[in-house]
Chain A
Amino acid sequence: MTLRLSPHVYKTMIGHSYDGLPDEACGLIAAAPGSDKAVVVYPTRNAAASSRVYEVDPLDLLKADRDAEARGLQLAGVFHSHTHTDAYPSPTDQAQAPDPEWHYILVSLKDLVPVVRSYRIVDGNITEEPLVLEGR
């Protein structure tokens, strides 16, 4: 399994992660059904407004889901930032991952250069997947 991203999706995730500081930032990605390419990104509010946890704002989630459906896409994953830790799912991320089909993307802002990684979380088992930046 792989996650492919357009440069727009990639830079929006990183920009939104920095904009959210000092809190964690979060957002959603959408892809065509069955596709592994994220073509639309939805930066969302962190309803938890915390530097340690996040909750995608429920209304932003609903709007993103409707917009994706109107475009013939579906929500395919979530990204969030870790402000001071590595780009690896925390035990909370692992426990609360809702969908085994989703991509779980971490943006670590721990170091000067952001680190972006993507995972699948199935029955609590975390597997990293290759991330490919397309169209450069």
Chain B
Amino acid sequence: MAVEIRLPTILRQHAAGQATVQAQGETLGEVFEDLVRQFPNMAGKVVTEDGSLHKFVNVYVNDDDVRYLDKLDTKVGGDDSISILPAVAGG
């Protein structure tokens, strides 16, 4: 099932400038695998090489931060909207 992913401006350059893209999968991890299949330059930007969420991004399913759900194992469906935003932090 396809779900919508909203991309932050900094990642749009890797998706032909698009602000939202569609990807397939039943879990967040599968959706991000499909995202990288479609846009190979996304590799390593959201999910690290060791298969965990990148420390410097926040990912939400609808209004929920996935760190407080099941992270990459979070189930997603056709009505869900996934948002990726850069973590904004400093000292």
A53:B63 contact, CB within 8 angstroms: no
- Kindly identify which residue among A59, A89, A92, A99 contacts B86, using a CB–CB cutoff of 8 Å: A99
A74 in the interface (beta carbon within 8 A):
yes
B10:A62 contact, CB within 8 angstroms: no
CB proximity of B59 to chain A, nearest CB, Å? 9
CB proximity of A25 to chain B, nearest CB, Å? 12
B72 in the interface (beta carbon within 8 A):
no
CB proximity of B76 to chain A, nearest CB, Å? 16
* Number of CB contacts from chain A to chain B under 8 A: 66
List of A residues within 8 angstroms of B86 by Cβ: 98-99
A56:B88 contact, CB within 8 angstroms: yes
B89:A48 contact, CB within 8 angstroms: yes
B89:A62 contact, CB within 8 angstroms: no
Query: In the bound complex, what is the Cα–Cα distance between A98 and B46 (angstroms)?
Result: 13
B51 in the interface (beta carbon within 8 A):
no
Interface residues of B in 75-91 (CB under 8 A from A): 83, 85-91
**Could you mark each residue 8-33 of chain B with 1 if its beta carbon is under 8 Å from any beta carbon of chain A, else 0?**
11100000000000000000000000
A53:B10 contact, CB within 8 angstroms: no
Number of interface residues of A (CB under 8 A): 28
Query: In the bound complex, what is the Cα–Cα distance between A98 and B58 (angstroms)?
Result: 12
B34 in the interface (beta carbon within 8 A):
no
**Could you mark each residue 64-96 of chain A with 1 if its beta carbon is under 8 Å from any beta carbon of chain B, else 0?**
010000000011001010000000011111001
List of B residues within 8 angstroms of A93 by Cβ: 90-91
20 additional A-B residue pairs with CB within 8 Å, beyond A61-B88, A92-B89, A93-B91: A48-B89, A53-B89, A53-B90, A55-B88, A55-B89, A56-B88, A56-B89, A58-B85, A58-B87, A59-B65, A62-B58, A62-B83, A80-B90, A91-B91, A96-B87, A96-B89, A98-B8, A98-B86, A99-B9, A101-B9
Q: Which residues of B contact A (CB under 8 A)?
A: 8-10, 56, 58, 60, 63, 65, 83, 85-91
Q: Which residues of A contact B (CB under 8 A)?
A: 26, 28, 48, 52-56, 58-59, 61-62, 65, 74-75, 78, 80, 89-93, 96-101
